Amino acid sequence: MKVVLSFFFFFEEKSLDGRSEQLCPSCNSSRPYVPRSLQDGSLVYDLLVVTDLARYSKVSDTKWQSIVRRGVLRMSADQRTFSVQWNAGSNVSLTTNISAGGRAMEQSDLAVFDGRVLAPDDRTGLIYEILNDVAYPWVFVSDGPGNTKKGLKIERLTVKADKLYAGGIGTEWRTKKGVYLNDNPMWVKIISRSGEVKHVNWRSVFVKIRRAVGIQYPGYVTHEAVQWSDFHHKWFFLPRRESHDVYDEVQDESRGTNLLITAAETFSSFQVVKIGKLVHPTRGFSAFQFIPNTEDNLIIALKSEEIHEKPVESYVSVFDIKGNILLPDSPLNTPLKFEGIAFV
Q: Is residue 117 one of the residues assigned to a domain? A: yes
Residue 324 is part of which domain span?
39-343
Q: Is residue 199 one of the residues assigned to a domain? A: yes
What's the whole-model pTM score? 0.91
> Which residues are annotated as part of the binding site for Ca(2+)?
108-109, 155, 224, 286, 339
Q: How far apart are CA 149 and CA 67, in angstroms?
A: 27
The count of domains in the chain is: 1
Q: How far apart are CA 155 and CA 141, in angstroms?
A: 12
CATH number at residue 133: 2.120.10.100
What is residue 33's predicted lDDT score, i.e. its pLDDT? 81
Q: Is residue 27 one of the residues assigned to a domain? A: no
Q: What is the DSSP letter of 232?
A: T
Residues 6+ apart with CB under 8 A from 279: none
Q: Is residue 231 one of the residues assigned to a domain? A: yes
Q: Is residue 160 one of the residues assigned to a domain? A: yes
Q: How far apart are CA 33 and CA 146, in angstroms?
A: 34
**pLDDT tens digit string along 40-69?**
999 999 999 999 999 999 999 999 999 999
Q: What is the DSSP letter of 107?
A: B
> Which residues are annotated as part of the binding site?
108-109, 155, 224, 286, 339
Longest Cα–Cα distance of the chain, Å, equals 58
DSSP-derived secondary structure for 292-328: TTTTT-EEEEEEEE--TTS--EEEEEEEETTS-EEEE
**pLDDT tens digit string along 2-44?**
333 333 333 333 333 332 234 344 445 435 688 999 999 999 9
Q: Is residue 28 one of the residues assigned to a domain? A: no
Q: Is residue 6 one of the residues assigned to a domain? A: no
Q: Is residue 26 one of the residues assigned to a domain? A: no
Region for residue 101 given its phi and psi (left: phi exceeds 0; alpha: psi -120 to 50; beta: otherwise): left
Tell me the C-alpha to C-alpha distance, in Å, between residue 10 and each of 26, 90, 342: 19, 26, 21
